[in-house]
Amino acid sequence: MQKGKMFIISGPSGVGKSTVLHELFKNREDLYFSISATTREPREGEEDGVHYHFISVQRFQELIDAEALLEYAEYVGNFYGTPKKYVDRAMNDGKDVILDIEVQGALQVKTKRPDTVRIFIAPPSWEELERRLTSRGTDSPEKVQKRLLRAKSELQTADVYDYFVINDSVENAVRELSAIMLAEHCKPADRMKILSE
Ligand code: ADP
Ligand code: 5GP
């Protein structure tokens, strides 16, 4: 069986990553979403073990000490990290793994696993990003401004990514993501492995 591939999706908070990924995952048994650990408080509607593993700072430090995280980073006052075990298990089961992580974490993963494919999702405009962050209604005006500032610095790093998707409509963004993932499976190195099996 072919091992799955790892895909990183990064992009500013509020750009629509969760929304687009939710659509992408419909009827896709071949994909695995990596559930991150975070010290941030759950938003309304978020479930522990579904959207994130919501844990304390102390527990997060224990995971770092045990080298249980593939990568981790601090983002606007909270810690976020990718548990290694489940990602490796899913890839060994032949599933493509998707990590929704910010740019520092993406850099750490690329260093450890150079064959990871990185996709940056951008908003159609800054005004639209601010509108989405505000309309989500989960962050105070002060937090929205912090997330917007962070978004501008994140965009500076986007040129090291392999692909750039603009989330104008969810449908378009999902179509582009699916096309990128499919194309990555058509690379000669992968296809020739199938022949030699
Ligand atoms: P992220 O996961 O990147 O932080 P969300 O998926 O939570 O972002 O989306 C932020 C807000 O933007 C949500 O209210 C969502 O419904 C809205 N949204 C997402 N994609 C689009 C889009 N293409 N057009 C309009 N609104 C969108
Ligand atoms: P949010 O609080 O909006 O859910 O996420 C804030 C940021 O943290 C987003 O850019 C998201 O991609 C990122 N993030 C979520 N999980 C992880 C993770 O495990 N590692 C890293 N490095 N970033 C993450």
Is 172 part of any domain? yes
Q: What is the pLDDT of residue 1?
A: 74
Is 136 part of any domain? yes
Going residue by residue through the chain (197 aa), what tens digit of pLDDT does each one get?
Answer: 788 999 999 999 899 999 999 999 998 989 999 999 999 999 989 999 999 999 999 999 999 999 999 999 999 899 999 999 999 999 999 999 999 999 999 999 999 999 999 999 999 999 999 999 999 888 889 989 998 998 999 999 999 999 999 999 999 999 999 999 999 999 998 888 877 76
Neighbours of 127 (CB within 10 A): 9
Eight-class DSSP state of 14? T
Among candidate residues 33, 47, 9, 41, the one with its CA nearest the CA of residue 83: 33
Please work out whether the CB of residue 102 comes within 6 Å of at least one atom of ligand 2. yes
Is 126 part of any domain? yes
Please work out whether the CB of residue 135 comes within 6 Å of at least one atom of ligand 1. yes
Please work out whether the CB of residue 170 comes within 6 Å of at least one atom of ligand 1. yes
In this structure, the residue with its CA closest to atom 19 of ligand 2 is 81
Q: What is the pLDDT of residue 128?
A: 95
Q: Where in the sequence is the domain holding 66, given as residue range(s)?
A: 6-196
Is 13 part of any domain? yes
Per-residue tokens: 46 = 């978020």
Is 1 part of any domain? no
Q: What is the pLDDT of residue 191?
A: 83
Is 150 part of any domain? yes
With 0-12 CB in 10 A as exposed, 13-18 as middle and 19+ as buried, what is 47?
exposed
- Pocket mutation for ligand 2, best pick of 19, 36, 70 (most atoms within 8 Å of C-beta): 36
Per-residue tokens: 91 = 């890839």
With 0-12 CB in 10 A as exposed, 13-18 as middle and 19+ as buried, what is 171?
exposed
Is 178 part of any domain? yes
Q: For residue 117, give the CATH number of its domain.
A: 3.40.50.300
Per-residue tokens: 159 = 């040129």
Tally of structural domains, the chain: 1
- Whose tokens are 């983002």? That residue is 75
Distances (CA, A) of 20 to 5, 25, 39, 122, 129: 19, 9, 24, 12, 15
Please work out whether the CB of residue 154 comes within 6 Å of at least one atom of ligand 2. no
Is 89 part of any domain? yes
| Ligand 1 centroid – CA 16 distance (Å) | 3
Q: How far is Cα 27 from Cα 123, in angstroms, rounded to an integer? A: 26
Q: What is the pLDDT of residue 134?
A: 93
